[in-house]
Amino acid sequence: MKNEDMFREPSATLAERLFLETTYPWEVLPKIKAFVSALGPMLDPAEYDHPSDDVWIHKSARLFPNVNIYGPTVICADTEVRPGAFIRGSVLVGRGCVVGNSTELKNCILFDHVQVPHYNYVGDSILGSYAHMGAGSICSNVKSDKTLVVVRGEHNIETGLKKFGAILGDHVEIGCNSVLNPGTVLEPYASVYPLSRVRGVVKRGHIFKAQNDIVQRI
C-alpha cells in the first residue's frame, strides 16, 4: 500500500513531489490544498488559462457548459470536463482525464488518464493512472460515527484522518453504483463488481465480488 506500490509512475501527476516525500498515499491528502495553491502560479501562462482566483486550466482542456470550478484547482492538458461537473477546490486533475456529468470532486488528485465520467463523487481521495469509476460509484469520505478512519488490511493502520475516501492504484476498475467506504484501498489492477459495498484493502490484481468473496484474477 506504499506509494511506490500503488503508483508505478509518480511522474504521471504534477504532484509527484508529494508522493516522493511521503510513504503512504493518504499522507498526501492534508497537503493537497497548499500544494495546488502554490503550483498554479508557477504554471506557464502560455499553456494555462487563469479564469478565476486559484483556478488554472490548460488551454487544451475541453469544458462543457454549466461547469462550476472553485479553487485551488489545476486541470491539465487534454482533459474533458462535462456538463454539471462541480469541482469544489483542492483538486488536481491530470492529463487526458474525463470528469463527467454531475461528477463532484473535492480535495483529490487524479493522475493522468483517470475517468470519473458519470455521476461520481470523489472526495479526499487519490486515483492512480487509468483508474476508472463506473457510473454512480462514489468514494464515501466520512464515517457515520465521525471517528477517525482506519485502513483495515492484514494490519490495521491508524490514519489520524477524519476525512479519507479511497485510494485507487493504477488501472483500478470500479463497477457502477458501488460505494467505497472511508479508508478503502484498491491496489493496482484490482476491480470491483457493480453494486458493491467495499471496505478495507483489495489486493493487486484481485476482483471484489462481495466482502467475503474476493478472488485473484486469472
pLDDT in tens for each of the 218 residues of the chain? 899 999 999 999 999 999 999 999 999 999 999 999 999 999 999 999 999 999 999 999 999 999 999 999 999 999 999 999 999 999 999 999 999 999 999 999 999 999 999 999 999 999 999 999 999 999 999 999 999 999 998 889 999 999 999 999 999 999 999 999 999 999 999 999 999 999 999 999 999 999 889 999 86
In the prediction, which pLDDT does 217 show? 85
DSSP, res 116: E
Q: Which helix (H) or strand (E) holds 73?
A: strand 73-75
Within 10 A of 86 (CB to CB), how many other CB atoms are there? 16
The position carrying cell 511522474 is 11
Pairing of strands 132-133, 150-151: unpaired
Q: Could you tell me the residue ranges of all domains in the chain? A: 3-216
In the prediction, which pLDDT does 1 show? 86
118 is an active site residue: yes
Q: Which of 50, 113, 118, 206 is catalytic?
A: 118
Pairing of strands 86-87, 104-110: parallel
In the prediction, which pLDDT does 13 show? 98
CATH architecture of 3-216: 3 Solenoid (2.160)
In the prediction, which pLDDT does 168 show? 98
The position carrying cell 461537473 is 85
Q: Please tell me the distance from the alpha carbon of residue 81 to that of residue 140, in angstroms, as a whole number.
A: 22
